[in-house]
Amino acid sequence: MNINKKRFLKVITASTLTLSLGLGTVLGAAPEEQAQAKAKTTNIEKTSTITTVSSSKAVKISGKYKTKAALNMRKGASTKYKRVMTLKKGAVVSATYKKTVNSKKWYKVKYKGKSGWVSASYVKKYKKTKKVSSAVAGSKVISVGKQYLGVPYVWGGMSPSGFDCSGFTAYVYKKAGYGTLPHSSRTQYSVTKRVSKPDVGDLIFFGATPGSGSITHVGIYAGNNLVLHAAGNKVQIQSVAKGSYWAPRIIGYGSL
């Protein structure tokens, strides 16, 4: 009986102590304990605030972007929004705003009168690449070709020790870095693109006689009605202007 009473008192005492500690935390905790509890609460609130901020405000931008693949343009900055249209790969769009949603960047863009949001992961900054103009490329060809002015004409020649007409054009084009041409004026005509008016650096094809349709000679157009070619006894520049020896012998022009 005395043993049971002692056990009963121990249980009561332990329960009372547990209850006191619990109430103390809520109501009567020591100042330093309250401060720690407050700090924990504040940290939780801060964490909650960070996780709930999933998107940023749209920032105004400008610039053009090119799609890297077929891409959906949407009404909002998320895949949950409806599709406005599907852009083809390579489409160039104008960006007006950017926004980050759930750590992913989106652009608001315009394309053919329509606007919407696209994922930044599937577009890249578009820079209008200027095709190397024929004038720039041609100038390089002429610059290389002029280095061999005065080199003797040699039938079948393809080197600075001697050139024939097609050997000269093939050598100069290769040296300038603009392709490999076959060693034949007729074959060079067949592998080049026909143009109605030559740019500097294009090829000019000639016949042996005025009005001839059979190609027997080729040179490089140097601009200002001039041709740079291996003709006569050397590499030289001559006129192809109206009234010149070569003008009535022109059959056509070819461009690479």
Which of the following is catalytic: 217, 219, 222, 226? 217
Phi–psi pair at 175, nearest 5 degrees: -65, -35
**Those residues with Cβ within 8 angstroms of residue 197's Cβ, 6 or more apart along the chain or in another chain:** 253
Can 183 be counted among the known catalytic residues? no
| 231, 218 contact by CB (below 8 A) | no
Whether the CA torsion 176, 178, 182, 186 is positive or negative: it is negative
Among 77, 93, 95, 165, which one carries the catalytic annotation? 165
CA distance 225 to 245: 12
Q: Where are the alpha helices (DSSP H) in the chain?
A: 2-26, 31-52, 134-146, 165-176, 185-191
The catalytic position among 98, 140, 229, 249 is: 229
Q: How far apart are CA 229 and CA 14, in angstroms?
A: 112
State the catalytic residues. Answer: 165, 217, 229
